[in-house]
Amino acid sequence: MLALALLPLFTSACWAAPLAGLTTTTSLRNTPVFPAVNLGLPNLCDLPIINQLCAKVLAASDQVTTPIGVAQGVSDGNGANRFAVKYASATRWAASTVATKWALPNGATNASALPLACPQSLVDPSTYTEDCLSMILYVPTSLKANSGAPTLLWIHGGSFVAGSATGPGLDGSKLAIATNSIVAVMQYRLGALGFMAPNGGTNLAVKDTVNALTFLAKVVPSFGGSASKITLAGQSSGAGMIRALLATPSASSLFQSAILQSDPINYGFLNVSTQGLLQSSFNQLVGCAASDTACQAKLSVDSIINAQVTLGNEASTIDASTGLAEPIRPVRDGKLITTPLDLTAPFPAVNKPILLSNVKNEAGPTIYGMFPQSIGNSLFAPVCEASLGTDRTTLVQNSPFYNLTGVSDTRVPLETLGTDEVWRCPTWSLARSWSGHGGKAFVGVYVTGATYPANNDIAFCLESGSVCHQDDIEIVFGTVPNPSAAQGGLTIEMQARYKAFLATGSPNAAGYSTWTPATTSDVHAHQLGGSSSAPSGEIPAGACDPSFWGAQVQYDYQVFGI
């Protein structure tokens, strides 16, 4: 994996390590994507003196009777109601259990309260809690009980160590109204608390998402949804979580289709042996034996997060297959997650429709975040070798896809290389495999986006024509502040296509160009936004031709056999 593409480019708490042998004047970025949870109104409404005033925003129509109790919500005033709820509970490092009664998050007494985030580094501790298995439902006021509407469950990104349901741009009201569906935005245990149980139990966070799906199936009919029409959607590691659920047979009956935006598929799942090495190291860092539950219970959240950060910094030296960006991630344990869903093993039979998308400049935040100033061609090879190794670097240099001839700024081909290797090409490989084994896959590339707040300090991401990692989020949700005509038009289009996909499993919607599903030889990558120079409106394969990435030049999951 390209070294620079493994640094903090797609989530808030990716761990960075200096590139050996390189001297630059730049510093590595480690800026939170989700710097804080919006707690202003919820905290104020919990004050007795203001509680009665806040309660006045509630109306009878904002109360819904569910099989597990009365849900209270608040109206956004524009045609949607918001319901925050605790969907499951769990003690530290134990499997979560689905909620059996409707309860507001974090013991709140006012329905306007928003959930606290799950514990994570680089944020104020007052914004998170271990009691964080909550979600927010956004429901169009037009829906009535048992209307049979679809539900979209959004899983946030954050390299499995950061993020929340209240992250920037994740207000689902407009998306719910535009698609006439219920939009649920969930949280799951992050980092060590979600993936590093000292007793060796794996994938607790993945099991949290399974419980979120189970909870939704139970309650959405009361809000006008159908338990059999649930679609998963997520971005970056949220999309990686969905890929884990697609590889989990026991979860298959809980959702009908999936939307994966900017999944860094190149990394693959961890294998059991690598997880074991990381687990042993983590247990040593916290000073608790696998069986010492009393010791584990006494650990402060701060000490757990500190150990998690240290583990992340050291993971690639413990086992190179962890990489530098997502060393804590789902594990193919053979019990819950049973297949790699990649090119390293026979692909299973599939039948769910999936929608796979990337943005034009996935690696932009990494390359231009690390190197704010132009760099010369002499750095291309050492940067590549730091992660790709000598053999793969030679193949890349000898290919026609990343030609340095006439290039004055090596960041340009490095960004293209990072985008292709970590995101775009492995996504297209998945699409070919999926379509060849019984399922429909639709592939798209955003060439228009809206700068996500985390990218505001990266000059490249502010340039006209750049679409950096995360710049698709606010387009999909319809939360772009002061959208341009192009952004507004793409939001309307994508929400129309998502509405069609939720209902039919195809993103083809009236009034828009045909989006052709992938085949084993041509993924038909649909251009999203911009003005297409190709008659078909499709993005050319380039280096993502199956004879190059995944064959001549292997992905990381192939190199490490995970």
Number of residues that this document lists for the chain: 562
Q: Give the C-alpha separation, 373 to 379, whole Å.
A: 13
Give the residue among 225, 251, 35 at the shortest CA–CA distance from 122: 35
Give the residue extent of every domain in the chain: 4-559
Per-residue pLDDT tens digits of the chain, which is 562 residues long:
444 333 433 333 332 332 333 333 332 223 333 333 333 333 444 444 444 444 444 444 589 999 999 999 999 888 999 999 999 999 999 999 999 999 999 999 999 999 999 999 999 999 999 999 999 999 999 999 889 999 999 999 999 999 999 999 999 999 999 999 999 999 999 999 999 999 999 999 999 999 999 999 999 999 999 999 999 999 999 999 999 999 999 999 999 999 999 999 999 999 999 999 999 999 999 999 999 999 999 999 999 999 999 999 999 999 999 988 899 999 999 999 999 999 999 999 999 999 999 999 999 999 999 999 999 999 999 999 988 999 999 999 999 999 999 999 999 999 999 999 999 999 999 999 999 999 999 999 999 999 999 999 999 999 999 999 999 999 999 999 999 999 999 999 999 999 999 999 999 999 999 999 999 999 999 999 997 655 568 999 999 999 999 999 999 999 999 8
Strand duo 270-271 + 331-332: pairing: parallel
SS3 annotation, 94-116: CCCEECCCCCCHHHCCCCCCCCC
Contacts of 71 (CB under 8 A, 6+ apart): 63, 64, 65, 83, 85, 102, 219, 222, 223
Q: Give the C-alpha separation, 274 to 265, whole Å.
A: 18
Give the residue among 495, 519, 513 at the shortest CA–CA distance from 442: 519
Q: Give the C-alpha separation, 476 to 492, whole Å.
A: 9
Q: Is 461 exposed, middle or buried (0-12, 13-18, 19+ CB in 10 A)?
A: buried
Give the residue among 219, 234, 267, 220 at the shortest CA–CA distance from 430: 267
Domain 4-559 carries which CATH code? 3.40.50.1820
Give the residue among 443, 283, 418 at the shortest CA–CA distance from 363: 418
pTM above 0.95, yes or no: no
Give the residue among 216, 196, 211 at the shortest CA–CA distance from 245: 211
pLDDT at 534: 57
> Do 247 and 240 touch, CB atoms closer than 8 A?
no
> Do 270 and 561 touch, CB atoms closer than 8 A?
no
Active site residue 262: no
Average pLDDT, the chain: 90
The active-site residue, picked from 96, 236, 262, 357, is 236
| Angle subtended at Cα 8 by Cα 35 and Cα 365, rounded to the nearest 5 degrees | 95
Give the residue among 221, 231, 228 at the shortest CA–CA distance from 64: 221
Give the residue among 322, 329, 360 at the shortest CA–CA distance from 243: 329
Give the residue among 228, 231, 302 at the shortest CA–CA distance from 260: 231
Strand duo 69-72 + 63-66: pairing: antiparallel
Contacts of 412 (CB under 8 A, 6+ apart): none
**DSSP helix/strand/coil, 56:** coil
